[in-house]
Structure 1
Amino acid sequence: MEKKVLIIFAYFSLVFLWTACTEKKIKLGKDIGFDKEENIHYGKSSDQIMDLYIPNIKTTKEKDIFIIMHGGGWRSGNKSQLTFFTLSMMQKFPDHIFVNMNYRLVSETHYGLPDQMNDIKEVSAFLEKKLKYNPKFILLGNSAGGHLSMLYAYKFDTDKKIKAVINIVGPADLSDPGFKNYQEYSFVERRLVDPRVPESGISRIDFASPVKWITEKSPPTLSYYGNSDRVIPSTQGKILDSVLKKNHVLHEYYQFNGGHLDWDKHPHDELLIDKIAAFLKKTDKK
């Protein structure tokens, strides 16, 4: 009986969220509402599109913005993968603006970096122009999206606009021997970084490794890794945690019981969202 109730509850939750996805105005509760704009072009490429959710809350306070980035090994994936998770986050953070973005993907004819870093920069510039103020950004991504969030925050955020990073199962050190077992590691070595970009003396793998750019000024970081992840080895979270600690960066590191794709399944998703809320309260006091 209890199992049936849970199944029915899950079904109606999905129906509710799907209905919310199809409307221009989203109601996520009695007092929670957002205006939605889908597939906004923030750049010239057809891949440079995003969904934007702006809360209906009337306030003079400038709202922080979550920028959400999907996974897919840098070469695949789509923002639609994180639509339901974005809606769940919106229920928890009804006074934040949300962006769920696509970015230019890696291929045999297109390097990922620096374009994927420039995509984040273009989204932030687009939002500043549209909103007419300079917001603080919270970068949140899973897998490759987690990696890109960290790399941008640690190396490319020269204006210090990133308030925090939420890294979900993201590779942090691409030179880690454990990560070299990744089935597409040779592709990452060849195509992730344009060889003309790294400074002299820095390998492309080190250039693309977020941990190599962490300093005492790096933004607060919350990380979430699965204890049975066969894609991202457990060493990645431990290396990241160690380097952040060494540099005295405010950070938290959590593990969930599951594999690479289990982080947004019940109850891991609820635990993550609660941890994010508590963590961001700490960053506000920082």
Structure 2
Amino acid sequence: MNKFLALLFFVLLLNCKEKTINISKDITFDKQMDISYGNDSEQKLDLYIPKNTQQNKDLFIIIHGGGWKGGNKSQLTYFTLSMMKKFPKSVFANINYRLASENRFGIPNQTDDIDTVILFLEKTLKYKPNIILLGNSAGGHLSMLYSYKFDANKRVKAVVNIVGPADLSDPSFKSYYDYSFVENHLVDPTILSKGISIEDHASPVYWITKNASPTISFYGNNDTVIPLSQKKILDSGLNKNGILNQSFEFPGGHLDWENEKNASFVIHSISEFLMHTDKK
């Protein structure tokens, strides 16, 4: 663990029972942990709102990975705190969602959960913020899929996709060790439109149009889970539709975006990219 994350972990421990969290001398957030945004026990979020500032227009919704059937928001707590230091005037919601299983499909439940979170936060904040969906792995996939297909009101200002699969029909992705789960339990087959396969329905690239949200992506050059071919496919779909986008390769595998050097690069790149979206 790098020194900054170690310090944040110490700060988090000190403030675990407090209603505020001090990121630094000049950066303080009000926090609420494990807020229920729905009736299911998995529909929880941690909310961080900058203290002593006026209305904050940007809201980061952080969406964890875990193959659609695992993971927890706690996995991205440190990264969320690092983002809060870089974006001290933004609101952050680090969310859980209903996990897929052999008895429960991931989609549409998980994209519905993102929609429910947005409505819940608009009501909680009492204004409509600019939504930035940020997810890693399955969370990156869900961020893109929700934004490109389900964001009917175009509330998503930008998507930050970290090692998320963009095309589930990509032959290189089909070597994913749990691809049978994707085929059998990711999408409820009763929601499919005629002529659309499960893979296409669940592939963000299938739904990219000229109205898609600006997107920044990060992929590992030695990722054995999400092949680098996904980056090329996504870049092509976004460029073909004239969508503002950037993509980067980082050195390492599926989880190496979290190490000190790569995480710093990811956060800096996000900041630079969002400046361009502000100018649109």
> Normalising by the residue count of structure 1, what TM-score does the alignment of the two structures yield?
0.95
Q: CA deviation at 1:24?
A: 1.9
Cα separation, 2, equivalents of 1:96 and 1:220: 18
The answer to whether the aligner puts 1:117 opposite 2:111 as a matched pair is: yes
| Counterparts in 2 of 1:14 and 1:172: CA distance versus 1, 3 Å | same
Cα separation, 2, equivalents of 1:271 and 1:58: 27
Cα separation, 2, equivalents of 1:255 and 1:8: 25
Instruction: Output the amino acid matched with 1:191.
Output: H
Cα separation, 2, equivalents of 1:277 and 1:214: 23
| Counterparts in 2 of 1:278 and 1:18: CA distance versus 1, 3 Å | farther
Aligned to 1:82: 76
The answer to whether the aligner puts 1:205 opposite 2:199 as a matched pair is: yes
After superposition, where does 1:24-173 map in structure 2 within 5 Å? 24-59=19-54, 61-173=55-167
The answer to whether the aligner puts 1:271 opposite 2:265 as a matched pair is: yes
Q: Which of 9-18 and 181-190 deviates more? A: 9-18
Cα separation, 1, equivalents of 2:65 and 2:98: 12
Check whether the contact 1:17–1:84 (CA below 8 A) recurs between aligned residues: no
Q: CA deviation at 1:12?
A: 4.2
After superposition, give the CA deviation of every residue in 1:118-158 in whole Å (9 maximum; x if it has no partner).
10010000011111111110000000000000000000000
Equivalent in 273, 276, 279 of residue 282 of structure 1: 276
After superposition, give the CA deviation of every residue in 1:98-133 in whole Å (9 maximum; x if it has no partner).
000000001000001101011001000001111111
Cα separation, 2, equivalents of 1:108 and 1:10: 36
Equivalent in 184, 191, 208 of residue 190 of structure 1: 184
Instruction: Output the amino acid matched with 2:40.
Output: S
Q: CA deviation at 1:254?
A: 0.4
Aligned length: 280
Q: CA deviation at 1:29?
A: 1.2
- Consecutive unaligned residues of structure 2, counting only runs of 5 or more, are none
| Counterparts in 2 of 1:31 and 1:285: CA distance versus 1, 3 Å | same
Q: CA deviation at 1:21?
A: 5.0
Q: Which of 8-17 and 197-206 deviates more? A: 8-17
Q: Which of 132-141 and 6-15 deviates more? A: 6-15
Check whether the contact 1:62–1:133 (CA below 8 A) recurs between aligned residues: no
Aligned to 1:3: none
Cα separation, 1, equivalents of 2:4 and 2:132: 31
| Counterparts in 2 of 1:106 and 1:224: CA distance versus 1, 3 Å | same
Check whether the contact 2:161–2:216 (CA below 8 A) recurs between aligned residues: yes
| Counterparts in 2 of 1:10 and 1:71: CA distance versus 1, 3 Å | closer
Cα separation, 2, equivalents of 1:21 and 1:244: 41
Check whether the contact 2:12–2:21 (CA below 8 A) recurs between aligned residues: no
- Consecutive unaligned residues of structure 1, counting only runs of 5 or more, are 1-5
Q: CA deviation at 1:20?
A: 4.7
The answer to whether the aligner puts 1:15 opposite 2:25 as a matched pair is: no
The DSSP-based 3-state class of the residue aligned with 1:240 is helix
Cα separation, 1, equivalents of 2:247 and 2:271: 14
Cα separation, 2, equivalents of 1:284 and 1:277: 11
Instruction: Output the amino acid matched with 1:35.
Output: D
Q: CA deviation at 1:11?
A: 4.4
The DSSP-based 3-state class of the residue aligned with 1:138 is strand
| Counterparts in 2 of 1:7 and 1:51: CA distance versus 1, 3 Å | closer
Aligned to 2:238: 244
Q: CA deviation at 1:14?
A: 3.9
Aligned to 2:212: 218
